[in-house]
Chains A and B, each alone.
Chain A
Amino acid sequence: MAPAVERHEGNLAVSAGHKRASSVSLLQEGTDAAALAEDLKKVRIYSGIVEYEDTLAALVESVDSYKPDMAVAQRLVDADKELFASLDKFKEYDEISTRLGELKGKSTALDTKTRDILEKLNECHDELNKLPYLEQVQFEMDTILEQREKINSSELLDYATKLSKFTRIPPTFDKGSIGPNNFIWPAEDALRKGMLAIAALHSRELTRIPGQDDAEDKKKQTEKPDVPEPAPVTEERRSSFVFGDTSTADDQKSSSAHSDHDDDDAMDLDLDLFNPDEF
């Protein structure tokens, strides 16, 4: 049911639109007809024809009704004279039309010629405007020469180097020849120089050897007699006997201490060939 209603409403809308369009077109036609009628009123021969028609109709009506009106007949004769008098002037109108055509042709030719000349003049004006003025060129040249004398080349190059970081590369420039100085970040050598400088400040810490440092630390500790050092608790594994081994004094002491207690073991030829240091 609803679609049917919608369709009906749509049809109504379409018909309303048609009515609106037709009314608009009717209005337009009405105004056009009124304008045409207004223009036709000015045409003398047209008015003569209309008058002729009306008078002839009146005469026909009076004659066919068996009541001929002589006044109407006289009016018809006058209208006829007027109409054909207007027709006799057609020769003059024809000449006027010919002259009007000639004048129109001449006017069009002159307008075309004038437009061509003005376009050409405009083009010349544009071309002349594109050319620089001589005084301006001389002034600019003098100014450039004066400024060139004032500018230091090194300052100019420094400024250009700074400026080039924020500008685009010229299209003709070879990108392969760009050096690190042109980057907006610090160059690699500058970074490395910075690291080396930091390393130079901490050279002792960075260049120390772990073994030597322990010995030096012990020497420092021995140089301090006031400070008692607790005896270290060593639960080290006994090292095996190695031929030609140069052991330290402590090792020798400990070995002699052990030798007192373990003579039997010393007499043993120590055939254990396992050396943990080799692994």
Chain B
Amino acid sequence: MHIVYPAVVSALLFSVGIYGVLARRNTILVLMSVELMLNAVNLNLVAFDVWLGDRLHSGQVLTLFIIVIAAAEVGLGLAIVLALYRNRRTVDIDQLRDLAESDTSGDPAEPAASGGPADLGTSGDPADPSTSDDPASPPARRLGEPAVAGDSAATAQPVRRGGAL
């Protein structure tokens, strides 16, 4: 078996994963792309383990470890995505722009304070042509509206508890 074959396949797979991470808007799709990249690494490890004939099977064992870690990562990642969705009513990664300094700077609490449904209007940043120029209404708005009633009840719960504490 030429080692070049699995190595090239893994390189292509990794590049596809990079494209997915950089180009996809939905956070869950980004997570999938990360899985693709991890699998490319796994393939590399297995191929070189076979090629080197390692007596300790370090390549395959590391593959197993990576699979475990990937499972943990997906679990945590999805938990973060869910928390994000509860707060922002969106999982679109290019609408999460708190890293940038807003022009009405000096009030760092502003984006967080206006979390929830009210954030939809402001987070549709006019500086971003990909959202504001879109003729179709942003998915977050379309998604958020039917969910407001149920989720606001769900999110209102801990707030009340926090206040009681």
Q: Do A and B come from one complex?
A: no
Q: Which residues of B contact A (CB under 8 A)?
A: none
Q: Which residues of A contact B (CB under 8 A)?
A: none
